[in-house]
């Protein structure tokens, strides 16, 4: 069987993260959504996504295909139902398709399908804030998936450890003189990672392959540090997708950072309003501020965005792709893609300069800034022009 992950109705609600990736490439828990599905299914997958992303993330269609809504996270129960789908059958949950069987070249008409209602709870990522608010469940599920039937590397004796049975260390990890408290959730430490001395970590927590926790870091669950990233200072219930740095002092809470982001030293993110009111967050889907229903919500930062030292972010700030933020004061709580500036105003961050930075940053991790990457970012620049209306040219 051929399995294809499609973006679904939640794609626009998950911007700015889905400007640069299909929904399936969002990291929540330890793994990306695609990695989860492939491990559960035992097959590789391809993608149906926006046209401008399809060259980098192509679809592979065969004679028989099962389409899976990438907003939904897999479980044993859900995968069992999907693997037993037959021609012209579809699984629905709350009136939204989770998966359906389709023949090559067939048009989708759910009125002709046998609709199977999913009668058990499923975990879905349908808003940007779901990524951090559902990260605890996702870490726990991924921890079981990745560690089942396996034995952890031994925990070095210099570390102060609580609930060692909830801690799993992969090969090549280095950690000495740290405190690991897995009482409230598991702690996963990936391959070739390092946790420097003096760090304090509470689960649920995931440190993905080749990442580093700096000396004296204070990290609360549920937090995920994606691969090839650096983390330090104080972090609470946040996700770094990968190849991003928040390596210095300062606070990051209830936040999501995409890839290739950098947070300057002593940057602080407010995640609670002074009046304790529920947080509203910019929605690209509605072009207004959406009610999250959350009292704690910090920063959503798209790929390739960066901020200078001592930056201060208001509660519930959304930053687009390839923005560069610096200076005194609080910048606005919606910063469009390709914005250059801060609390004193913004101008347009032209693509030539943005691409020069992207090329240097990616080369430091031995990753090429390809023509595909450039074309995607050029498309985003053009698509997001309306949000920069009124900027200096």
| Domain at 292, CATH number | 2.160.10.10
pLDDT of residue 105: 86
Residues 42 and 28 in one domain: yes
Residues 142 and 84 in one domain: no
254 belongs to a structural domain: yes
Look up the domain containing 236 and give its range: 131-344
Q: Is the pLDDT of residue 393 over 60?
A: no
Could you give the percent of the chain with pLDDT greater than 70? 99
Which of 303, 326, 344 represents a domain boundary (last residue)?
Answer: 344
This prediction has a pTM of: 0.95
Residues 245 and 261 in one domain: yes
Closest CA to 300 of 273, 323, 275, 266: 323
Residue reference for tokens 């901020």:
307
Residue 225: strand pairing partners: 207, 240
Residues 154 and 104 in one domain: no
Distance set, CA 259 to CA 21, 54, 133, 230, 306 (Å)? 10, 19, 19, 12, 11
Residues 117 and 164 in one domain: no
Which of 71, 93, 126 represents a domain boundary (last residue)?
Answer: 126
Compute how many other C-beta atoms are within 10 angstroms of the C-beta atom of residue 329: 9
- The mean pLDDT of 185-204, rounded to a whole number, is 98
Helix axes of 76-83 and 33-41: crossing angle, nearest 10 degrees: 60
Residue reference for tokens 């097959």:
43
CA distance 170 to 168: 7
> Rounded mean pLDDT of the chain?
96
Q: Is the pLDDT of residue 128 over 80?
A: yes
pLDDT tens for 309-330 read: 999 999 999 999 999 999 999 9
Answer positive or negative: Cα dihedral of 101, 103, 107, 109. Answer: negative
89 belongs to a structural domain: yes
301 belongs to a structural domain: yes
CA angle 297, 78, 123 (to 5 degrees): 10
* 266-293 burial code (b ≥16 CB/10 A, e <16): ebbbbbbbeeeeebbbbbbeeeeebebe
CA distance 125 to 149: 28
pLDDT tens for 88-126 read: 999 999 889 999 999 988 888 998 999 999 989 999 999
Residues 96 and 166 in one domain: no
Closest CA to 239 of 220, 266, 217, 258: 258
- The mean pLDDT of 25-47, rounded to a whole number, is 97
- How confident is residue 371, by pLDDT bands cut at 50, 70 and 90? very high
CA distance 28 to 376: 23
CA distance 97 to 101: 11
Residues 101 and 143 in one domain: no
pLDDT of residue 106: 87
Alpha carbon 190 to its chain centroid, in Å, reads 17
309 belongs to a structural domain: yes
275 belongs to a structural domain: yes
Q: Is the pLDDT of residue 165 over 70?
A: yes
Total domains in the chain come to 2
CA distance 330 to 380: 25
Residues 118 and 211 in one domain: no
89-93 and 45-48 beta bridge pairing:
unpaired
| Rounded (to 5) percent helix, strand, coil in the chain | 20, 30, 50
Residues 229 and 137 in one domain: yes
pLDDT of residue 390: 82
Which of 126, 160, 185 represents a domain boundary (last residue)?
Answer: 126
Burial class (CB in 10 A: 0-12, 13-18, 19+), 157: exposed
Residue 2: strand pairing partners: 65
pLDDT of residue 391: 84
351 belongs to a structural domain: no
Residues 244 and 268 in one domain: yes
Task: Give every CB contact of residue 204 below 8 A, 6+ residues apart in sequence.
Answer: 135, 136, 139, 140, 143, 184, 185, 186, 187, 221, 222, 223
363 belongs to a structural domain: no
Residues 189 and 289 in one domain: yes
For 288, phi then psi, to 5°, come to -160, -175
pLDDT tens for 252-301 read: 999 999 999 999 999 999 999 999 999 999 999 999 999 999 999 999 99
291 belongs to a structural domain: yes
Residues 122 and 265 in one domain: no
CATH, residue 122: 3.90.550.10
Q: Is the pLDDT of residue 392 over 80?
A: no
CA distance 153 to 131: 29
């Amino acid at each position: 069987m051929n399995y294809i992950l499609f973006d679904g109705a939640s794609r626009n609600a998950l911007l700015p993260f889905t400007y640069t990736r299909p929904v399936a490439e969002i990291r929540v828990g330890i793994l990306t959504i695609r990695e989860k599905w492939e491990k559960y299914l035992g097959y590789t997958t391809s993608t149906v996504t926006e046209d401008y992303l399809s060259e980098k993330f192509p679809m592979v269609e065969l004679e028989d295909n099962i389409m899976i809504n990438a907003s939904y996270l897999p479980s044993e129960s859900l995968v069992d139902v999907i693997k037993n789908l037959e021609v012209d059958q579809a699984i629905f949950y709350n009136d939204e398709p989770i998966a359906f069987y389709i023949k090559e070249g067939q048009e989708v008409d759910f009125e002709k399908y046998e609709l199977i209602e999913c009668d058990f709870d499923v975990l879905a990522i349908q808003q940007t804030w779901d990524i951090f608010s559902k990260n605890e469940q996702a870490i726990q599920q991924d921890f079981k998936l990745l560690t089942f039937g396996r034995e952890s590397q031994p925990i070095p004796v210099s570390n102060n450890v609580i609930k060692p049975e909830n801690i799993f260390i992969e090969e090549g990890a280095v950690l000495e003189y740290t405190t690991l408290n897995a009482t409230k959730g598991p702690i996963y430490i990936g391959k070739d990672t390092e946790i420097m001395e003096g760090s304090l970590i509470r689960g649920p927590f995931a440190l993905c392959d080749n990442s580093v926790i700096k000396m004296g870091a204070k990290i609360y669950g549920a937090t995920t540090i994606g691969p090839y990233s650096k983390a330090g200072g104080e972090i609470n219930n946040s996700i770094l997708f990968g190849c991003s740095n928040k390596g210095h002092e300062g606070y990051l809470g209830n936040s999501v950072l995409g890839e290739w982001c950098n947070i300057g030293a002593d940057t602080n993110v407010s995640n609670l309003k002074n009046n304790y009111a529920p947080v509203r967050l910019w929605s690209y889907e509605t072009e207004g501020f959406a009610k999250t229903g959350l009292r704690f919500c910090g920063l959503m930062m798209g790929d390739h965005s960066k901020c200078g030292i001592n930056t201060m972010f208001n509660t519930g700030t959304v930053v687009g792709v390839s923005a560069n933020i610096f200076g005194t004061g609080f910048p606005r709580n919606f910063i469009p893609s390709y914005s250059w500036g801060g609390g004193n105003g913004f101008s347009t961050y032209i693509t030539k300069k943005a691409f020069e930075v992207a090329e240097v940053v990616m080369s430091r991790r031995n990753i090429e800034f390809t023509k595909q990457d450039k074309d995607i970012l050029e498309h985003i620049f053009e698509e997001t022009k309306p949000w920069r209306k009124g900027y200096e040219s």
